Structure 1
Amino acid sequence: MDTVPETRIGWTFLTNHARVLTAIADNPSVRIRDIAAHCRLTERAVQKIITDLEEDGYLSHIREGRANTYRIVPGKVLRHPAEAGLTVGSLLSLLVQDESERSPQYAHVKQ
Structure 2
Amino acid sequence: MGFWLFSSSIWGLGLMLLLFFTGFNLLEATLPSLVSKLALGAIRGTAMGVYSTSQFSGAFVGGLLGGWVHARFGETSAFLLGAGFILAWLLLAGSMEVPAKTDAISPDGR
TM-score by length of 1: 0.28
- The structure that has the greater radius of gyration is 2
TM-score by length of 2: 0.28
User: Normalized per residue, which structure has more helix?
Assistant: 2
